[in-house]
Amino acid sequence: MVFYFKARPEAGDYTIFMGLDKYENEELIKYGFPEDIWFHVDKMSSAHVYLRLRKGQTIDDISEGVLEDCAQLVKANSIQGNKVNNVDIVYTPWQNLKKTASMDVGQVGFYNSKMVRTVRVEKRINEIVNRLNRTKLNERQSMQLKEQRRNSISGRRNEKKSWRGSKRRNKLN
């Protein structure tokens, strides 16, 4: 089950989402979209929270308010991180997530650590978390089905592979 949230209204129509558990996180890792930005509490167990940007937007286009919404939500959904102050939240484009067969369920690495950004959350702000939770929707539709529908509409098929391939080619040149 995927949980969907709406970012602060003044920021525009942004969707934030996260999986129910580490198995759902595997689906989110596998079937993400190029517009997705992944968030996680650094060096602690936490939910995998994603922000879906509009097509053509990049990580640089995330407003401070939307960034704060995502960071507060991921902190609130970390058993350990929710209990302490001054927690670092890492975030990166979905395409930068690296998953290998040797990794545990829900565990990820990065193709390029320079693409990973960090924001510090000093403390939990209940007003933000409560506002987000009031917009929470549950959906059982599989991420694979969503990706298939999107691919049939946009012809996106190997976008992630081609993005990674172009990055590797650029490094070699």
Q: With left for phi above 0 and alpha for psi between -120 and 50, is residue 74 left, alpha or beta?
A: alpha
Q: Is pLDDT at 143 greater than 80 in this prediction?
A: no
Q: Is pLDDT at 33 greater than 60 in this prediction?
A: yes
User: What is the pLDDT, as a whole number, of residue 51?
Assistant: 98
SS3 76: helix
Cα angle 58, 127, 68 (rounded to 5 degrees) comes to 20
Q: With left for phi above 0 and alpha for psi between -120 and 50, is residue 85 left, alpha or beta?
A: beta
The number of angstroms, rounded, from the C-alpha of 74 to the middle of its chain's C-alpha atoms is 10
Q: Is pLDDT at 168 greater than 60 in this prediction?
A: no
pTM of the model: 0.81
- What is the spatial distance between Cα 85 and Cα 19, in angstroms, rounded to a whole number? 24
Q: Do the Cβ atoms of 36 and 3 come closer than 8 Å?
A: no
